[in-house]
Amino acid sequence: MKTRPSLAPEAQLTGSVAGLDEAGCGPWAGPLVAAAVILPEILPSYMSGINDSKKLTRATREILFDSITSDSSIIWSVGIVSVDELDTLLLRKALPLAFERAVTGLSAAPDCLLIDGIRNPRLPYATALLKHGDQLSLSIATASILAKVTRDRIMNVLHDAFPAYGWNQNAGYGTKQHQRALADFGVTRHHRKSYAPIKAFLSAI
């Protein structure tokens, strides 16, 4: 039987817990986005549909995003690191900055952070890391939806200006369409020039 995210990981921690996740570490273009979420004690009914964002359809993510962000009982925030910042800081420092911006944007400070993955951003909060947290923790799974949809919407806007790269479908990942567009039209200001594939395109010019 397949399991869904629950509040069991949060229950092992003390005080209010903010679940954190990110979207956009791997793409060749676009910003890095992180989200932080503090869930209420009494969960709204739509939370039964929450799951790891990668396991949900785009349409379902959009519906859940709108429900989450319009729900006054949920404390949430999104942190964004631009392409220029990412190229300057590199991912090792850019990811903690995205998490920091997400946490400091919360309207109430958490007592503890529960973060998906194994990279500790070393923020000034008690922190627990949870591998596959987006599959296990309800607050992390909720954050994964917020981060993913926020980034997808940004990439949709960028797609309108640069349609050849297919960012509305590939979200900036290095698909064949994306690679063909790079070969035909070159590197844009939204590409991550610190990433090896983009470096290779630039060096070949």
pLDDT in tens, 187-203: 999 999 999 999 999 98
Q: Is 184 contained in some domain?
A: no
Query: How many folded domains does the chain comprise?
Result: 1
Rounded to whole angstroms, the Cα distance separating 64 from 51 reads: 10
Rounded to whole angstroms, the Cα distance separating 70 from 87 reads: 33
Q: Which of 114, 120, 116 is nearest to 135 (CA)?
A: 116
Q: Is 34 contained in some domain?
A: yes
Does the pLDDT value for residue 179 go beyond 80?
yes
Does the pLDDT value for residue 30 go beyond 60?
yes
Q: Taking a C-beta distance cutoff of 8 angstroms, is the pair 30, 171 a contact?
A: yes
Q: Is 36 contained in some domain?
A: yes
pLDDT on residue 1: 44
pLDDT on residue 2: 63
pLDDT on residue 127: 98
Does the pLDDT value for residue 118 go beyond 80?
yes
**Structural domain that includes position 98:** 8-162
In the structure encoding, which two tokens stand for residue 24, read together? 């956009």
**Mean pLDDT, all residues of the chain:** 96
pLDDT on residue 86: 98
Q: Is 3 contained in some domain?
A: no
Q: Is 204 contained in some domain?
A: no
CATH code, domain carrying 123: 3.30.420.10
- pTM for this prediction: 0.96
Q: Which amino acid is at 147?
A: A
Q: Give tens-digit pLDDT for 45-100.
A: 999 999 999 999 999 999 999 999 999 999 999 999 999 999 999 999 999 999 99
pLDDT on residue 149: 98
User: Taking the C-alpha atoms of 132, 135, 139 and 142 in order, what is their torsion angle to the nearest 10 degrees?
Assistant: 120
pLDDT on residue 98: 98
